[in-house]
């Protein structure tokens, strides 16, 4: 993986572990020579990932909607900062520029990005690993819900391994590097659906 899209919150939670985690992600990716593609902001976990990657000599590509680019939230220190018309273009650019997706704690926007990456993988729009860093048990319930959807039958057996998760960053990056694409819906026969 040469570049990874990092999905995370633009908020700064009161618990300092979240900012520390974001900084660890940015620094570790830079140290491994993996570029960061992210939302282009300078606030919260987003800003912490970007600044730590830049401080460690990493490439950081920001993709920000034009509605946010003119405000104080755009990170002008990025290696590259792309301004796009809206969220759909932003997520398409994340997919185009990245070799995988790494989700760390965040809110509604982070969930939107994660689930779109999973949905697009399931359909066959990309064959890249979708990683979920379950630090501090933050995503325990989401992982359980994903398992529940599979048990009920809403996630096909072929797609149950799309989300790759780990509680440690190094373990997750290793799993993402070893990821083998599944059979997407676009290549399945009707009887497999």
| Domains in the chain, CATH or no CATH each | 3-192 (3.40.50.450)
CA–CA distance, 3 with 45 (Å, rounded to integer)? 18
Is the pTM higher than 0.75? The answer reads yes
CB 117 within 8 A of CB 101: yes
- Total number of residues shown for the chain: 193
Eight-class DSSP state of 6: E
The answer for 124, left when phi > 0, alpha when psi is -120 to 50, beta otherwise, is: left
Orientation of helix 87-97 relative to helix 108-123, angle to 10°:
60
Q: Tens of pLDDT along the chain (193 residues)?
A: 999 999 999 999 999 999 999 999 999 999 999 999 999 999 999 999 999 999 999 999 999 999 888 776 899 999 999 999 999 999 999 999 999 999 999 999 999 999 999 999 999 999 999 999 999 999 999 999 999 999 999 999 999 999 999 999 999 999 999 999 988 888 877 777 6
11: β partners: none
Tally DSSP H helices, then E strands, for the chain: 7, 7
DSSP string, 10-48: SS--SSTHHHHHHHHHHHHHHHTT-EEEE--B-SHHHHH
pLDDT for residue 193: 67
């Amino acid at each position: 993986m040469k570049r990874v899209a990092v999905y995370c919150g633009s908020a700064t939670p009161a618990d300092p572990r979240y900012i520390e985690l974001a900084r660890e992600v940015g620094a570790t990716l830079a140290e491994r020579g993996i570029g960061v593609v992210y939302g282009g902001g300078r606030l919260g976990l987003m800003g912490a990932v970007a600044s730590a990657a830049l401080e460690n000599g990493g490439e950081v590509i920001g993709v920000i909607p034009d509605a946010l680019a003119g405000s104080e939230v755009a990170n002008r220190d990025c290696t590259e900062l792309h301004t796009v018309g809206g969220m759909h273009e932003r997520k398409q650019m994340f997919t185009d520029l990245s070799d995988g997706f790494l989700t760390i704690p965040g809110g509604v926007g982070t969930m939107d990005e994660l689930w779109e990456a999973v949905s697009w993988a399931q359909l066959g729009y990309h064959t890249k690993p979708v990683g979920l860093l379950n630090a501090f048990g933050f995503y325990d319930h989401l992982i359980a819900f994903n398992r529940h959807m599979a048990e009920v039958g809403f996630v096909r057996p072929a797609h149950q391994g799309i989300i790759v998760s780990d509680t440690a960053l190094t373990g997750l990056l290793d799993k993402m590097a070893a990821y083998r694409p599944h059979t997407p819906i676009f290549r399945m026969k009707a009887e497999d659906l």
